[in-house]
Amino acid sequence: MSNHDMMEKEEIYSKVLRAGRRTYFFDVRSTKAGDYYLTITESKKFTNDDGSFYYKKHKIYLYKEDFSEFKSILGEMIDHVISEKGEEVISERHQKDYKKEDYKQTSNSPLNTDTNSTDAPIDNFTDVKFEDI
């Protein structure tokens, strides 16, 4: 049996989650003994300077004996994040089209309180004529 046939035989059920530059693969696979386990793979796309791209992958193997505790801790962590920070995504700074000035103008963060900052929004400046100096 070829290596490709072995891979086809062991994969039982799959789901894909595309999330920006990241893709998550959830795969139920079969052990040699016929039992099932889960693999979670994160694949992240990177671009080289020449425009070509490559992927970095990280994989977690999760076995049945760990499902209950893993699910419990994952649920607890998710609940903690939601209760502390809500469901609104506040990480626009990590998006390709993020502009620091746009974030500072619309944010209620402490970054917006420094009016003497050198990177304050441009519309805070006053027109000054040379004759006034």
Q: Distance between CA 118 and CA 99 in Å, rounded?
A: 16
Residue 83 has pLDDT above 80, yes or no: yes
Tracing tokens 């994969």 back to the chain, one arrives at 11
Q: Distance between CA 68 and CA 77 in Å, rounded?
A: 14
**By percentage, how much of the chain surpasses pLDDT 70?**
60
Tracing tokens 């009016």 back to the chain, one arrives at 115
**Domain of residue 29, CATH code:** 3.10.450.700
Residue 51 within any structural domain of the chain: yes
Residue 128 within any structural domain of the chain: no
Q: What is the number of domains present in the chain?
A: 1
Per-residue pLDDT reduced to its tens digit, 17-56 = 999 889 999 999 999 899 999 999 999 988 899 989 899 9
- The pLDDT assigned to 108 comes to 47
- The pLDDT assigned to 89 comes to 83
Tracing tokens 């400046």 back to the chain, one arrives at 125
Residue 74 within any structural domain of the chain: yes
Residue 117 within any structural domain of the chain: no
- Mean pLDDT score across all residues of the chain: 76
Residue 65 within any structural domain of the chain: yes
Q: Distance between CA 14 and CA 30 in Å, rounded?
A: 12
14, 25 Cβ separation under 8 angstroms: yes
Parent domain of 77 = 3-105
Residue 53 within any structural domain of the chain: yes
- The pLDDT assigned to 60 comes to 97
Q: Which two tokens stand for residue 92?
A: 């626009």
Reported as a pLDDT band with limits 50, 70 and 90, residue 88 is: confident
Residue 133 within any structural domain of the chain: no
Reported as a pLDDT band with limits 50, 70 and 90, residue 93 is: low
Highest mean pLDDT: which range of 14-18, 90-94, 98-102, 104-108: 14-18
Residue 90 within any structural domain of the chain: yes
